[in-house]
Structure formats: structure tokens, C-alpha cells
Amino acid sequence: MEPFSFSTSHLSIPTNTTIFSPKHHPPSSAAAATTTTTVSFSLKPPSDSNNSAAPRRPSKPLKTTPTSNPLANKLWLTSKLSPPPPPPPPPETEAETETAAEESGGEGANSDSRTDFRQPGKIFVGNLPAWVKKPQVAEFFRQFGPIRSVILIKGHHETERNAGFAFVIYDGDDEEAADTAAMRAVEFDGVEFHGRVLTVKLDDGKRTREKARERAVWLGGNGGEGEHRSTWHEERDGSRKGFQKVLETQPENWQAVVSAFERIKKPARKEYGLMIKYYARRGDMHHARQIFESMRARGIEPSSHVYSSLIHAYAVGRDMEEALHCARKMKEEGIEMTIVTYSIIVGGFAKMGNADAADHWFKEAKERLPSLNAVIYGSIIYAHCQTCNMDRAEALVREMEEQGIDAPTDIYHTMMDGYTMIGNENKCLIVFDRLKECGFSPSAVSYGCLINLYTKIGKVSKALEISKMMKMTGIKHNMKTYSMLINGFLKLKDWANAFSVYEDFTKDGLKPDVVLYNNIITAFCGMGNMDRAICMVKQMQKERHRPTTRTFLPIIHGFARAGEMRRALEIFDMMRRNGCIPTVHTYNALILGLVDKRQMGKAVTILDEMNLAGVRPNEHTYTTLMQGYASLGDTEKAFQYFTVLRNEGLEVDVYTYEALLKACCKSGRMQSALAVTKEMSAKKIPRNTFVYNILIDGWARRGDVWEAADLMQQMRKEGIRPDIHTYTSFINASCKAGDMQKATEIIQEMEASGIKPNLKTYTTLINGWARASRPEKALRCFEDMKVAGWKPDKAVYHCLATSLLSRATFAQSYVYSGLLSICREMIESEMTVDMGTAVHWSRCLRKIERTGGELTEALQKTFPPDWTSHNVLDVNSETETADLESDDDDDDDDVHYNANGINGDDDTDDEDYDNVIS
């Protein structure tokens, strides 16, 4: 059964329904009046000029049943009924052959044979200067008539000089016109040409006749005399046959192919063409060009086939400029471009994603060639599918159907791949169904297109269903289908299922390629198993697979994220030793790791190395550096790299402005931050949640709750929903302004919107109650945090203990018991405080237990290991006078609390929001 073709001339379906229909609807006037956008693959019977004279009859009658597919008749009509071949002519008897030979014998036969070998319009030109070239000869003899070609015989030893003679072939509307021009040229026999007297005469066909006779002697002997080919010719023919055999049996062994070609003593145009074609398939355009020039140096003129092979070599090597140069040379030399040549050029531009250039050459092919085939249509359809222009691809499919060209399975797969790129699941499935309806059996490529579709749109479960369906039909997975499944699970960060697919891959006895190795290495790096990833690289090298830059990138990125920059740099050097050239993504991974560790000097050094290596930094490079300087509060450096980014013409996006806003808010330059937001509005870059979080956090650092509230209202007007970080920053602003009632209202609003407080939110609220001198509220908030399932960290314990110590007295037993409980929890968690905190807490303990006690003993277990009683006595003796003279009121305690608790918490806030933004 012939494959179907795509058309909308028979099926008309509205846009709100599927694009294909299995039912055939004949055209009508009502349907023609309806304006519907249709995309359909119809099955059109082939055109037949004799259809009206003699109706066709099917070879087998069609059996119809009430439950048969309504497309059955349509599918059957696509079968082209080719007439049987004509019977072979009866063989001639020996008597008839002898009679014919006698009738054509004698002197007239020799004369006729001379005339047969003579080419009309061809003249011989002798005594030419050795330095002359084709253009000079053509220019001189063009005065007698239009010239088809000039054959200049080159020297045997010096190919740059000619042998002293040439043949000029005149052109004309017919043979008589060409002979007339040749006769006019012969009249000028003896004319002087560049100091030489030329010999000009008609070609008598002697050269062609001798070649034919010599060939006949080589092949079959000369009559009954038994004169056979010489040893040299036999060896030459043997080497030519050996070369063709190596090409057929060992195409992957390029050394054997080259050796077989070099053994041919005098290669002909056919061997040169085969060698150029071999290099073209390998994409070795330089060696293909070398063989081409060697052929021309031997005096062998290239044919259309040879030129097409050379153009194919440049197309595979993605050098379309040189491919077009070869096409222009073909036209200059009068060699017509065939449909193969046009298909190669269109396919070359299609692979490079240049659909406009592919369209240009496709239109030229339609204008110059009488008909096109499925290959060139497949190339132009592929070009538009790669650029996601599916409307144009569908139009080309309809055009191909109108030309009566049957679509092969490659067209189906190309269309499925195009619909996959735009994420159109419905149309992709319809193409797959039509493929089966038209008699094609789905292959591994067909199922692979569906697996690729579902992995790209995130429906990996459906991809697994397609995989099971594929196995049920008896089709085994190949390398690409397994790679697609693994890649789909990697996108979901489902490492377990990714390794499960890899185990199935190994059970099938397949050997991984570079792409599959890279996916497995990415999975190990995602799991944090960096040592296993390095082992996979070594195993990859043992299997003689060359690692690429993409192989080492996830390993470098993993070490950089983990803060192990020494090992990341070691892998970077290892990548260079393996011959892999670092890309901008490799350098960005190193810079990101150094920025996370706040090593901005080393990050700038990597940037300098990047520029020296000729790798141009991109937007992500400068944005990462800006984020690093923003975390340090260095606004000047952040603006400096922002200026460099704009001067180099790189795209400034919302992430770049986020880094700039972070630098301004971190350093307290809120007016500069407002100027940045105005520039964002001027460039029509919308604000997202992260931008508002940075701005609200900036105003929270200054305690300006009114500006923070205004930003919250702007968020709601723009339809941006606040997240947990937005609410936490707003609570921080309220706490610093001392408005704990507002902070409590924000907590209630947050819980009403379905957002639960996190550890950072509770820490901020405890800090606020401590500032408000309400330790009982802070202690209650601490208990609520534990009930919510959050484990307190060092910042929470520090903040709460400092607040309670500043308020603890013997009258407030709940505060005393709360301190003991916090100390026991810190001891169980093996937490210790720094020396400054220990000194401050020891001063507060002197007011509670001057001679020591249970609280002092418990609290000192959280002090640093180098803390001793001697240090306590020294601190107490130094501060005893100051403590006796100082007032024992709440204001002094607040000063101690603010000097230690708030600063430490601010540092924690900064680190948390840096992580959120990054």
C-alpha cells in the first residue's frame, strides 16, 4: 500500500476539533462557503491522464463490511496500479546477424562508423601555446558561433600547462547549426594566435573511435584474434574493483578505504567521485576538496555527480558558504544542477536552522526543474519544522500531495518532531494514527517521537506507557529512546527511576554512548555522589569514548555548589587535559561557586582568564558577579559590572535588575533602588515576587513599615501574590518599628491565605517580642514554633536566651524555668556560642546567680571550649565596678540585648534573603 499524502482539499474540520478525520467528506458548495482552518492528511489517488478513456480496475476486489473503517476505500485508491513491463524482444538468430553484417559490410561500413563517432560541431585546434588557458581559447573561437565547451588537454608531467592542443565544441539549435559554426572556424586554419600558427580542422572521431575500440579489446578481446587486456589494465581494474568492495564492506575503516584508493594506478572520474562521496558522508570537507583538486589536476573534468558530492561534504561540515561557492562554479562551467544538488543545499540550510535560505533554493529548484521528489520536500519541511513554523510545513505537505508525491515515513517523523517542539500533543498523536492507518508499521523512530514528546512536556508516566506499548509490539528500545527516558526523569530530578531505566539499558546488552554517559553523570551529580560521577568518566574513557565539555560541566557545578572549589578547579584542569575546550557555561559554574563562598577576587580572576581564552562572558556571568558584590553590599562594583554588561550589548533582564536592587538595599541606598525600579518600568520589565521581596526587605532594614505596606498594596494591585518571604520581610519591618500588633495581624493574614510560617518567620517574631521587652511572648512564640514542627537553630536559641537573661529575676519563675529548658536543649543539640555572646551572658548571670547555681552550670556548658573559670573571674573583676554603678533597669538590659542579639539576627536575615534571591 502506498504511503499517504497530506492535504486539506478533501477534509475540512473546524479549528476547535481535531485536525484529521478518518471520514471522507466530498466537497460541496456549502462546505466551500464555510471558513474553517483545516490541517489534514488526506489520501489522494494518483492522477492519470488516461483515466477518462480507460477506467482502472483493482487487482483485488475490496471487501466491505458494515463495521469496516470508512477510510478503507480511500486507502485502497492510493495504490498505484503500474502496467506490466513489455515483453523482451525475441533473440536474433546467427543467420540474421550474419545477413545484417553482409548487408552493412564494405567500404560504406567504415565510412558510416567514422561518421558515427564524430561529434557534431567539434573541431580540433593544434599548436597552442603551452601557457594558454580555456578562457583565451573560448574567447578567440567564440567569434564563429556559440560554444558549448572547450576541452583543453593538460600536460602529462606539468598539469599547470597544456599539451598543445584542444577540442572546441560548438552549440546551436540543432546539429546543422553547430556544424555550420565549426566549418566557419575551419576556414581560419593557419591563423596566428599568440605567436603560434594554429591547426584548425574538423574532428574526425578518431580519438573517440580509438577509445571505444581499445575498451572493446580490454573487455572482450578483438574478434577471434584473442587480443586481451594488458597486465597493467588488469591490475588497474582489479584495484578498482577492490576499492569498491572495501567501500561496501568496510566503510567505517577509513584507513582501508584510503589505502584501496591509493592502490589504483590511474583513477577515473568514477573512483574520484566515490572517494569524494565517502569523505562527504564523513563530513571531511577538507579531504573531499583535496581529492576534487587532484582530479582536476589530472585533467578530469568534474561532472554534476562529483560536484554534488563535494557540496554534500561542505553541507555536512556546516560550511554552506563554500557549498554555495561550488554551486556557482557549477553554473559558470555550464554544468546543470540536478535535483540531488538542490536537495543537498536545501537540507544543509535546514540542519543549520536557516529556513529562509532553504526556501530560496527550494523555489529555484521548482523554477528550473521539471519535477521534484519526496527527498527535497522532506528537507524543506524539516527546515520549517525546526523553526517551529508548522503552518508553512503543513502547506508544503499539501503541495507535495497535489503533485502526486507519496510521503515516506520520514515525513511523518519530521512532522511529529515539529509538533513536539511546539508542545502540540493532539496533532502529534494524529500524525502517528495516520501513519498506522496508511499501512505503515510504527518503528522505533515513531515510538521515539512520542517518548520525546511526553518527556519534553513533563508527562513521563505517559512516556513509560509508550515504552511498554513499544515492547508489546516486539520493537526493542535503542540508544535514543533510552536516553530520552533517562533525560525525562532527570528533568524531574527522579534519580531512582533514571537509574532503573539505565539498568534496563544494560540488561538489553547495549553499550552507552557519549550522550547516555553524560546523562548518567548528571544523575550522580544531582544525587550528590560526585565520586561515582568521576568513576563514570574514567569508565567512559576505558570504553574509548571521548568526554566532552558537557561531561565535566555537571561535576564542576556540583563541586562549586558544595563549596569544594579546590576539587572543582581540579576537574576543570582535568577537562583541559582531555582536550575539551572550556565554554562560557564552564566558567560560569566556577564563578558561581566562588561567589557563593564570597571569594570575589578569585571570581574576577576567572573572568580575566575567560577573556584571555577568547570566551565572551554572557549575561549570566556578569549577573553572578553583581549578586556576589550585592551580598557584600558593594554597590559601586555592582553598578560597574552592570555598565559593562550594557556596553557589550548584552540583554538586561529581570535577574540583572534583581542583583542591582539587592546591592542597593543591602547598603541602605533606597533612593538608588527606586531609580532602578523606574528604569525597569521604562524598559517595560515587569516586577516579580523576588523584586518586591528585595524592596520590602530594604525598607524593613530601615524600619520603615509605611513604605513596606505601600509595596504590599502595589503587589496586590499588579496581581502578584505575596509568598512566605514577602510576609516575613513585612513582619521584620513591623518588628523593627516596634509595631507588634501589626506583626500579629500579618501573621493572621498569612495563615488565612494558606501560607504557614517557617523557621525564619518565627525567628523574626521572637526577635520582635524581645525588642518589645516581652520575653513571655517570645517564649510562647518559641513553643508555638516547636508545636508547628520546626526545629530551632542557633539563631533562635541565641535570640531567645539573650532576651530571657536580660529579664530574668527570682520573682519571674517562668522565665527562669524557660532559660533552664533552653540550656538543656542547646546541650542536647551540642550547640556552643561564640566568645562575645559568652561574655555577655556571664554578665547577665551575675545579676541572677552571683555565687553560681543550676542555671550558671547549665549555661556555661554552651560556652566555647576555651572558656574557663579564670576567664569568668577576670571578666567579673573587670566589670564589677561598672555593674555596681550601673542602673539595674530595663533600658540597660535592652542595650545589652540590642548589642548582641539584633546584630546576630540581622546577619542571619541577610544570609537567608541572599539564598532566596540566588
Using 50, 70 and 90 to split pLDDT, how confident is the model at 382? very high
Q: How far apart are CA 533 and CA 540, in angstroms?
A: 11
Of 649 and 211, the one with more pLDDT: 649
The pLDDT score that the predictor gives to residue 799 is 79
| Cα 515 to chain centroid, rounded | 13
pLDDT of 105 higher than 60: no
Q: How far apart are CA 122 and CA 796, in angstroms?
A: 102
Question: What is each CA distance from 25 to 10, 11, 74, 430, 432, in whole angstroms?
Answer: 7, 6, 11, 18, 21
Q: How far apart are CA 511 and CA 649, in angstroms?
A: 45
Question: What is each CA distance from 644 to 651, 675, 705, in whole angstroms?
Answer: 12, 19, 35
pLDDT in tens, 733-792: 888 888 888 888 888 888 888 888 888 888 888 888 877 777 778 888 888 888 888 888
pLDDT in tens, 484-520: 888 888 888 888 888 888 888 888 888 888 888 998 9
Kindly provide the b/e burial profile for residues 325-345, where b requires at least 16 CB atoms within 10 angstroms of the residue's own CB: ebbeebeeeebebbbbbbbbb
Q: How far apart are CA 745 and CA 724, in angstroms?
A: 15
**Is residue 607 within 8 Å of residue 617, measured between CB atoms?**
yes
pLDDT of 287 higher than 80: yes
| Cα 45 to chain centroid, rounded | 40
**Is residue 478 within 8 Å of residue 467, measured between CB atoms?**
no
154 by DSSP, 3-state: which? strand
pLDDT in tens, 591-646: 998 998 888 999 999 999 988 888 899 999 999 999 899 888 888 898 999 999 88
**Is residue 516 within 8 Å of residue 483, measured between CB atoms?**
yes
The H-assigned helical ranges of 689-793 are 689-701, 705-717, 724-736, 740-752, 759-771, 775-787
Task: For residue 493, give the amino acid letter.
Answer: K
| Cα 109 to chain centroid, rounded | 69
The pLDDT score that the predictor gives to residue 720 is 86
Phi and psi at residue 738, to the nearest 5°: 80, 10
Task: For residue 616, give the amino acid letter.
Answer: R
Q: How far apart are CA 449 and CA 145, in angstroms?
A: 59
The pLDDT score that the predictor gives to residue 358 is 93
| Residue pointed to by grid coordinates 478533501 | 10
pLDDT in tens, 259-274: 999 998 888 899 999 9
Question: What is each CA distance from 132 to 57, 135, 152, 162, 606, in whole angstroms?
Answer: 66, 8, 9, 7, 60
pLDDT of 79 higher than 70: no
**Is residue 191 within 8 Å of residue 200, measured between CB atoms?**
yes
pLDDT in tens, 859-888: 778 777 777 644 544 444 444 433 433 333
The lowest-confidence range among 4-8, 477-481, 570-574, 844-848 is 4-8
The set of residues, in sequence order, having a beta carbon less than 8 Å from that of 119 and lying 6+ positions away, is: 169, 203, 205, 208
Residue 227: count of CB within 10 angstroms of its CB: 11
pLDDT of 858 higher than 60: yes
Phi and psi at residue 747, to the nearest 5°: -60, -45
Rg over alpha carbons for the chain, rounded to the nearest Å, is 43
The pLDDT score that the predictor gives to residue 376 is 92
Strand partners, 149: 169
Which of 178, 168, 172 has the alpha carbon at shortest distance from 120? 178
Calculate helix-pair angle for 740-752, 759-771, nearest 10 degrees: 160
Of 702 and 371, the one with more pLDDT: 371
For residue 221, the 8-state DSSP code is -
The pLDDT score that the predictor gives to residue 278 is 92
Strand partners, 261: none
Compute the mean pLDDT over every residue in the chain, rounded to the nearest whole number: 78
Calculate helix-pair angle for 903-917, 794-807, nearest 10 degrees: 160
The pLDDT score that the predictor gives to residue 314 is 93
Q: How far apart are CA 224 and CA 221, in angstroms?
A: 8
pLDDT of 911 higher than 60: no
**Is residue 17 within 8 Å of residue 34, measured between CB atoms?**
no
pLDDT in tens, 568-584: 999 999 998 888 889 99
The percent of residues in the chain predicted with pLDDT above 90, rounded, is 17
Vertex 109 angle, CA 106 and 111, to 5° = 115
pLDDT of 39 higher than 80: no
What does the pLDDT average to over 196-205? 87
The pLDDT score that the predictor gives to residue 218 is 62
The set of residues, in sequence order, having a beta carbon less than 8 Å from that of 784 and lying 6+ positions away, is: 762
Strand partners, 170: 147
pLDDT of 37 higher than 60: no
The pLDDT score that the predictor gives to residue 813 is 67
Q: How far apart are CA 403 and CA 89, in angstroms?
A: 35
**Is residue 118 within 8 Å of residue 106, measured between CB atoms?**
no
